[in-house]
Structure 1
Amino acid sequence: MSNLEQLHLNICSTILLNDQIYLPSLEDIQYSFEYFPDIQISSCINYFSEEGKGHCHIYSYPFTIRIYPNIANNFPGGLFTCVSEISLFDEHPFEHEFFVRISRSFPLLKRLTIRNGKPQCGKSKNIRKFFSIIQYSHLESLNFETTHDDYIEQFLIDTRTYLPSNITLSIDYKSLRRVTHKFTRKATRLNCEKINYICLEKIRQLPKYFKNYFFEICMCRP
C-alpha cells in the first residue's frame, strides 16, 4: 500500500466470557498499534459479568463513522461531529454528569438508544435540583430498552433535560405511565408535549389525561 495516504479504523468486537485466564486490556490494544505513530488511535473495552460478554471498540480519531455503538461509563470523550446515532449500555449506573459528557461529545446526535437496568445513585437523586439542564438540539428519536425508570426521568423531567420538538419516543407503556404519574406529572409535561409517542402495547382502557399529554400519539396494534 505504497500510495495509501489515509487510514480510518472502526473495529467493534464481542468477547464471550467463558472463564478466560487472560482478558485484553486497553494497554494491550494501544501496544498493538505502536507501529502506526501517525494514526491517533482511541479504544474502549468493557467486560460485563452479568451479560457474560466483553465489548471492544477501536477507532481512529477523528471519527468519521455515522454510528457509535455500546457506549459505557468509561467513554473517553472527544468531539464526534459526524455521529448522528449512538447506543448506551452499562451494568453500572449512568449519572447526570455522564449525559452531560454525551451531549457535548455528540452535538449533532439524532438517534439515541439507552439500555441500563441499574438505578442512579442516591446522592445524585438528592441534588438533582442543582443539575445543569442538558440540551439535545438535533435529537429526533429516543429509544429506551430494558431501562430503569431513573433514565426515563433523566430525559423527561424538564429541569434535567431540554428536548427539541417533534421527537419520537419508543418506550414501555407501563414505565412511561409510572414516570409520568399516570400522565399527570407537571415535571414531565413540558418535554412530553413535544413528543410523538409510538405506543406498541394493546391498552384496554386509556387513562384520562393520556391523549392530551403528548404532541401526538400513534397507537400501533401488534
Structure 2
Amino acid sequence: MFIRNQINFPSTEDIQRRFIDFPINEIISYVDYLPEAQEGRCHIYTYPYFMPYYGGITNNFPGGLFKCVRVVALHDGHPLEHEFFLQIARSFPRVEELSVINRKSQNRKQSYESNTGNQNLSVIEYSFLGALDLLNVHDDYIEEFLINSKTCFPNNVTLYIHYKSLQRVTHNFTSDTTRINCGKIDELQLYAETKCSNSSLQEYFPSAKIKYRI
C-alpha cells in the first residue's frame, strides 16, 4: 500500500502489532519511505514466500531465501551498493527477470576502483537470468551489471537499455571491461530517438539480435 502523508506513516512495529495473533516467524514486514517522491511503501508477507514476483525492493530489504521468485524489481531513491546486489542474488537464486530503477550514483564505486585488482569485490552470479531492464538507472548500475569483474550471467540475456547510456558506459563500444558480458547478450532492446548506424555496436554485441525502440 502507498501512503503519501508521512505524519500518519506506520512503523514496522505498528504493522507487527496488527498481526499479534500470528506466530512471529510467519509474518515479515518492513517500511520504506521515499522522501523525494513523498511516498511510503509497506511490505507485508508470510514467510516462506511462495509468489513468483517480488517488487519494490529497497535497501531495507531484510533478506531471506525466496526459491519460488522468478521476477524481481528493485526501486530505491538511495544508492544501491555492490553488497546489496550480492544479497539479492543470494536471496533470489532462481531469478529470471530483473529490473532496476535508481538514479542515484553508488557511494562506494570509487573505493572499488581504487582497490587494485578488486581483491575485496565478490563476483555476483545470476545463473538463470534471462531479462535485464536497466532503462531507468544511473550509469553506475549499468557498470555494475556489465563489468565482468562485478557480475556474471548466462549467455542468453535480453537487455533493455537506452542507447546513449550504453554508449557512455562502454566508451563508444570499445571498453574491454564490459566486453565479456556484452558478448553474452543475445537480444538487445535499444531505446533511442532514432535508429543509430554504428558498425562497432554489432561487433561489440556479436551474439545479439539488436532491436530499436524509437
Q: Residue 218 of structure 1 aligns to which amino acid in structure 2?
A: I
Distance 1:139 1:186, change over 3 A: same
Counterpart of 2:180 in structure 1 is: 190
Q: Residue 15 of structure 1 aligns to which amino acid in structure 2?
A: I
SS of the counterpart of 1:176?
helix
Residue in structure 1 matching 2:150, options 147, 160, 163:
160
Q: Residues 108-152 of structure 1, C-alpha deviation per residue, up to 9 Å, x if partnerless?
A: 000000000111114344348120110000000000132000000
SS of the counterpart of 2:142?
helix
Alignment of 1:39-188 (within 5 A): 40-121=26-107, 122-127=110-115, 129-130=118-119, 131-188=121-178
Residue in structure 2 matching 1:31, options 14, 17, 20:
17
Distance 1:158 1:221, change over 3 A: closer
Q: Residues 60-108 of structure 1, C-alpha deviation per residue, up to 9 Å, x if partnerless?
A: 0000000000000010000000000010011111001000100000000
**CA positional deviation for 1:32:** 0.9
Distance 1:149 1:27, change over 3 A: same
Distance 1:159 1:54, change over 3 A: same
Is contact 2:164–2:192 with CA below 8 Å preserved after alignment?
no
Report which of the two has the higher share of helix: 2
41-50 or 120-129: bigger deviation? 120-129
Inter-partner Cα distance in structure 1 for 2:14 and 2:79: 27
Distance 1:25 1:38, change over 3 A: closer
SS of the counterpart of 2:178?
helix
Is contact 1:26–1:44 with CA below 8 Å preserved after alignment?
yes
Based on CA coordinates, which of the two structures has the bigger radius of gyration?
Answer: 1
Q: Residue 129 of structure 1 aligns to which amino acid in structure 2?
A: N
RMSD: 1.6
Is contact 1:45–1:54 with CA below 8 Å preserved after alignment?
yes
Is contact 2:49–2:66 with CA below 8 Å preserved after alignment?
yes
Is contact 1:45–1:57 with CA below 8 Å preserved after alignment?
yes
Distance 1:205 1:66, change over 3 A: closer
Q: Does 1:21 align with 2:10?
A: no
Is contact 2:112–2:118 with CA below 8 Å preserved after alignment?
no
Long gaps (5+) in structure 1: 1-12
Distance 1:112 1:194, change over 3 A: same
Q: Residue 152 of structure 1 aligns to which amino acid in structure 2?
A: I
Long gaps (5+) in structure 2: none
Query: Segments of 4+ in structure 1 off by > 4 A?
Result: none
Q: How many residue pairs end up in the alignment?
A: 208
Distance 1:204 1:79, change over 3 A: closer
Is contact 2:95–2:129 with CA below 8 Å preserved after alignment?
yes
**CA positional deviation for 1:199:** 1.8
Q: Residues 160-179 of structure 1, C-alpha deviation per residue, up to 9 Å, x if partnerless?
A: 00011110000111100000
Q: Does 1:213 align with 2:204?
A: yes
Question: Percent of aligned positions with the same letter in both sequences?
Answer: 45
Question: Given the two structures, how large is their TM-score scaled by the length of structure 1?
Answer: 0.88
